[in-house]
Amino acid sequence: MFSSHSRGPLVVNLVAQLAFGLLAMTICIPSMQEWGALFGAGQGSVQLSFSGFVIAYGALQLLYGPLSDRLGRRRVLLAGLSLAFAGSVLSALSTSLDALIAARVLQGAGAAAGMVIGRALVQDLFDGPERTRVMAWIGMAMGLVPPGAAIIGGLLHVRLGWQAGFVLMAVLALVLIVAAWRGLSPKMLAAPEREPAPHGASAIPNATVTVASGAVPQPPWWRTMQTSYARLAREPVFLLYVGVLSTTSAAFYTFLGGAPLVLGSYGIGPEGVGWYIGAIPVFYIIGNYLTSRLVHRAGEARVMLMGQVLAIGSLLLTAALALAGWHSPLAFALPLTLLGVGHGFLMPTALSGTVGVLPALAGAAAAVAGLLQQGMGAAGGWIVGLVPHRGALILALLMLAWTLVGALAQWGLWRLRPARGD
């Protein structure tokens, strides 16, 4: 669809739009340790600044998706980036924790647009295995964002103060507005074409029906949103793809929440935790790279199967080593590098599947996927705190439970594909 000369800058632009929200979410984490003393508040209140961002970031994806299907990608993306810019500026200017929490909510609400519309644009602009390959490159870049953001945020905090991270995000929001305006043409960012309606009726919600008297006006946007999500809810393949995607995210968030506790039981302090956790995203990047190479030859179904096998095998090995008495950081972290590779196989293929089932509703599909990723991930991180962690066994079993649910969803996909001719 694009020449190799134009595809590179386009992919970079899409990756930047997608990564902005995750960068905004994590760049201030090093500063949060001092916000309690700075604003005279407890750590629980400080955590609301993060939770408020995550809730807005997940929930607003449900709104941006159908709006971009209805109004076009350009308008919604630029509006979201403008909100994110305003939220970043207000965060940097905040003089109280309540003001900072409100500004972070606004920042998360705006940043959600890039995640939804970036995914939808991959569906709009790329076809077949090429779409999955682009998703893999996106996954590789996204794997670098959390550790990179934490490092950058910590350096800015020490040298320039806690506001510097928000100033950087405001500048990046402006850069992305320019990149979207100049690098993504109006045709690319227009509302996607609708599927033709059989027998004079609309096959896809929100399609305008032409009759002898002229075009029938489209319904209100909120009704379009309702019908879009209702249509997706009736599509079993979409629901199963989302099941694979969200349970994979839940397993990873469970790891992020529980790994510091497990490593602490092995005598690893805060200064060393990052080195063991950081190995997982590195191998996730490797998995995404391998997916970009394998998907053309092996196909999406086989790549997903390899991902599940690696993930389940990794967690079984981690649990077996814990049961055998191997209580050490390396015995915990090394087997989970296979999990990183497995997730690198699963995430781009599942993401491609969610937006590809009903192309005319790609924006709404990306919104549902993003919300459930955040929601299930939050659930995984919350469950970790309900049980003790004096070793790796319980954490490995929790992660295995999420993974097996995802494997069950993938088995359902395998059963439906032959009937659909996929």
* Between residues 258 and 342, the one the model is more confident about: 342
Are 175 and 28 within one domain?
yes
With beta carbons less than 8 A apart as the criterion, state whether 407 and 343 touch.
Answer: no
Euclidean distance between CA atoms 249 and 240, whole angstroms: 14
Are 146 and 271 within one domain?
no
Euclidean distance between CA atoms 301 and 26, whole angstroms: 33
With beta carbons less than 8 A apart as the criterion, state whether 342 and 308 touch.
Answer: yes
Are 360 and 282 within one domain?
yes
Question: Predicted confidence band at 381 (pLDDT cuts at 50, 70, 90)?
Answer: low
Boundaries of domain holding 327: 226-413
Mean pLDDT taken over the chain: 79
Are 254 and 354 within one domain?
yes
Are 100 and 238 within one domain?
no
Identify the residue whose tokens are 């970079």: 12
Domain count, the chain: 2
pLDDT digits 0-9 by tens, 56-72: 887 887 788 778 777 77
Helix (H) or strand (E) holding 253: helix 236-265
Q: What pLDDT was estimated at residue 194? A: 45
CATH of the domain at 339: 1.20.1250.20
Are 316 and 170 within one domain?
no
With beta carbons less than 8 A apart as the criterion, state whether 95 and 40 touch.
Answer: no
Flag whether 351 is in a domain: yes
pLDDT digits 0-9 by tens, 331-375: 998 999 999 999 989 988 888 888 777 777 777 787 788 778 877
Flag whether 419 is in a domain: no
With beta carbons less than 8 A apart as the criterion, state whether 287 and 345 touch.
Answer: yes
Flag whether 368 is in a domain: yes
Are 152 and 13 within one domain?
yes
CB-hemisphere CA count at 13 Å for 33? 10
Q: Of 156, 183, 210, which closes a domain?
A: 183
Question: Predicted confidence band at 204 (pLDDT cuts at 50, 70, 90)?
Answer: very low
Flag whether 118 is in a domain: yes
With beta carbons less than 8 A apart as the criterion, state whether 342 and 177 touch.
Answer: no
Flag whether 221 is in a domain: no
Q: Which phi and psi angles does 387 have, rounded to 5°? A: -130, 155
Mean pLDDT to the nearest integer, 217-245: 79
Token pair of 422 as six digits: 């996929």
Most confident of the ranges 86-95, 286-295, 351-360, 386-395: 86-95
Mean pLDDT to the nearest integer, 316-341: 92
pLDDT digits 0-9 by tens, 59-116: 887 788 778 777 778 788 999 999 999 999 999 999 999 999 999 999 999 999 988 8
Are 172 and 240 within one domain?
no
144 has pLDDT over 50: yes
Euclidean distance between CA atoms 142 and 15, whole angstroms: 8
Are 176 and 240 within one domain?
no
DSSP string, 105-170: HHHHHHHHHHHHHHHHHHHHH--HHHHHHHHHHHHHHHHHHHHHHHHHHHHHHHHH-TTHHHHHHH
